[in-house]
């Protein structure tokens, strides 16, 4: 059923409900009041609240003041941009409202929004499973957390203009003091990578050289090799000038510590970049350190808490030729505009990391601003353009992962070509 004005349909369901679950990118004071004023005293309410959009401090204060054991609210602090609008009620009917409107006056009542309403147990349980997954990934709202969050808004006249990079940095800082993702709460049935693949990178295993931990990482390597067998034909069908490592044993990075690995094995990756012929020419012209490891590439990486898709422009002390040439070409305004235009094709979850500083691509207002950030690239640090997916994301399910990788490679590949030095 199509719904345009959510409040007139949602409120009657809430009044009859014994359970209400809401996931919203932002909740306003008015939105919270609408929910609280209409639920029964015995109703169990669970909220997942985002802060990528500026949920007001007063909302969190009111939630803390409730002290009602039937009401549990959490805040989503993982790096991924949190943007759902989901309302579930369990009463006379099990009802799902999913659509465009946040839990605000505008989203519930005033704006032109669009929702789909379904009332059957099968769909309801599917959305409850999704809700529970992200509820378990979210963090408790505490006085300590709220004190830090309030600082984020100090001296800001226009909350709507809150810099997303400041929010991202805040989430990273706050999350670093929290527990890691509880992989046991995630249903991996339909996911390409399973719980054991992520657990191979638990902190106590990063430096470990014992056979048991090598074997765990080997299983990740095998899974990435399986993904490679799916991806390579798709890459060739797109006629992209991208190649896996010419030695089969190195198509995926090493699962054992060795001469060419870091002290911590915090990830394994699958990569595509320059051909063996191109690498040989680079070595002839520019000397040593021109192997695949030191060159620009597109990658799929598995870490402890996420799968990443990167255009790794350069590792530390890597891609020196490409990076130096790129910075020289960036001095031309026309080249800056091309680079900015290509970066604009990336979605809001993509970031660019220069000199250990990460900014989301949507935070740059113009080509000049992007240039000012990138021109300071120091080859001793990583240069990455990429995005991350949580282990539970449907984008990396068995059915979707290949499409997801190719779709993201498709928008990164023109940037790869723009930066790559032609010889």
So what's the pLDDT on residue 159? 47
Q: What are phi and psi of 92, to 5 degrees?
A: -60, -35
CA distance 78 to 307: 13
Pick the closest to residue 11 from 85, 84, 109, 100 (CA basis): 109
Does the reported pTM lie above 0.85?
no
pLDDT band at 158 (very low <50, low <70, confident <90, very high): very low
Tokens 């505009």 belong to which residue?
337
Once rounded to an integer, what is the mean pLDDT over residues 361-381?
A: 93
Q: Which pair of structure tokens corresponds to residue 118?
A: 């379904």
So what's the pLDDT on residue 237? 97
CA distance 277 to 296: 15
So what's the pLDDT on residue 164? 65
Q: What is the pLDDT of residues 105-142, one digit of tens each?
A: 999 998 989 999 999 999 999 999 999 999 999 999 99
Once rounded to an integer, what is the mean pLDDT over residues 356-369?
A: 91
The helix/strand/coil state of 117 is strand
So what's the pLDDT on residue 130? 94
Domain spans of the chain, in order of start: 2-175, 189-419
So what's the pLDDT on residue 180? 60
So what's the pLDDT on residue 174? 67
Q: What is the pLDDT of residues 13-63, one digit of tens each?
A: 999 999 999 999 999 999 999 999 999 999 999 999 999 888 999 999 999
The helix/strand/coil state of 170 is helix
What whole-number percentage of the chain has pLDDT above 90? 75
Q: Which pair of structure tokens corresponds to residue 290?
A: 């021109």
CATH superfamily to which 189-419 belongs: Protein of unknown function DUF1054 (3.30.930.20)
pLDDT band at 289 (very low <50, low <70, confident <90, very high): low
Tell me, which fold does domain 2-175 have in CATH?
Endonuclease; Chain A (3.30.870)
The dihedral formed by the CA atoms of 210, 216, 218 and 222, expressed in degrees to the nearest 10: 180
Residue 177 pLDDT greater than 80, yes or no: no
Q: Let me know: does 104 contact 54? Beta carbons within 8 Å.
A: no
Q: Which pair of structure tokens corresponds to residue 97?
A: 């409202």
Q: 15: buried, middle or exposed (CB in 10 Å: 19+, 13-18, 0-12)? A: middle
Once rounded to an integer, what is the mean pLDDT over residues 171-176?
A: 66
Residue 395 pLDDT greater than 70, yes or no: yes
Once rounded to an integer, what is the mean pLDDT over residues 309-326?
A: 93
Once rounded to an integer, what is the mean pLDDT over residues 188-202?
A: 96
The b-or-e profile of 76-107 (16+ CB within 10 A means b, else e) is: bbbbbbbbbbbbbbbbeebbbbbbebbbbbeb
Residues present in the chain in total: 423
Other CB atoms within a 10 A radius of the CB of residue 408 amount to 23
CA distance 92 to 303: 43
Q: What is the pLDDT of residues 255-285, one digit of tens each?
A: 999 877 888 999 999 999 999 998 888 888 8
pLDDT band at 160 (very low <50, low <70, confident <90, very high): very low
């Amino acid at each position: 059923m199509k719904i345009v004005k959510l409040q007139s349909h949602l409120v009657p369901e809430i009044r009859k409900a014994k359970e209400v679950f809401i996931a919203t990118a932002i909740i306003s004071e008015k939105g919270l009041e609408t929910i609280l004023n209409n639920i029964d005293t015995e109703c169990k309410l669970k909220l997942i609240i985002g802060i990528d959009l500026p949920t007001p401090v007063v909302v969190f204060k009111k939630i803390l003041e409730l002290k009602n054991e039937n009401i549990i609210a959490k805040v989503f602090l993982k790096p991924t941009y949190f943007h759902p609008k989901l309302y579930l009620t369990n009463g006379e009917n099990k009802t799902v409202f999913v659509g465009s409107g946040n839990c605000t006056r505008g989203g519930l009542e005033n704006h032109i929004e669009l929702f789909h309403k379904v009332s059957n147990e099968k769909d309801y349980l599917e959305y409850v499973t999704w809700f529970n997954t992200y509820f378990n990934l979210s963090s408790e709202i505490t006085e300590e957390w709220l004190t830090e969050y309030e600082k984020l808004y100090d001296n800001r006249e226009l909350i709507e203009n809150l810099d997303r990079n400041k929010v991202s940095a805040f989430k990273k800082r706050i999350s670093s003091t929290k527990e890691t993702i509880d992989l046991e709460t995630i249903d991996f049935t339909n996911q390409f990578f399973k719980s054991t693949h992520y657990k191979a990178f638990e902190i106590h295993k990063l430096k470990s050289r014992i056979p048991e931990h090598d074997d765990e990482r080997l299983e990740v390597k095998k899974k990435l090799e399986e993904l490679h067998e799916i991806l390579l034909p798709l890459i060739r069908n797109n006629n992209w000038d991208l190649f896996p490592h010419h030695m089969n044993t190195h198509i995926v990075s090493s699962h054992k510590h060795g001469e060419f690995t870091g002290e911590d094995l915090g990830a394994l990756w699958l990569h595509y970049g320059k051909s063996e012929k191109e690498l040989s020419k680079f070595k002839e012209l520019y000397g040593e350190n021109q192997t695949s490891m030191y060159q620009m590439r597109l990658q799929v990486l598995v870490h402890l808490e996420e799968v990443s898709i990167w255009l790794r422009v350069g590792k530390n002390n890597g891609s020196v030729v490409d990076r130096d040439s790129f910075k020289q070409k960036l001095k031309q305004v026309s080249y800056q505009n091309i680079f900015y235009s290509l970066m604009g094709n990336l979605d809001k979850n993509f970031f660019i990391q220069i000199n250990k500083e990460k900014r989301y691509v949507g935070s740059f207002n113009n080509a000049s601003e992007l240039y000012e950030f990138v021109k300071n690239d120091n080859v001793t640090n990583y240069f990455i353009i990429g995005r991350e997916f949580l282990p539970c994301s449907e984008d990396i399910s068995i059915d979707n992962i290949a499409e997801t990788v190719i779709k993201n490679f498709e928008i990164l590949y023109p940037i790869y070509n723009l930066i790559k030095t032609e010889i």
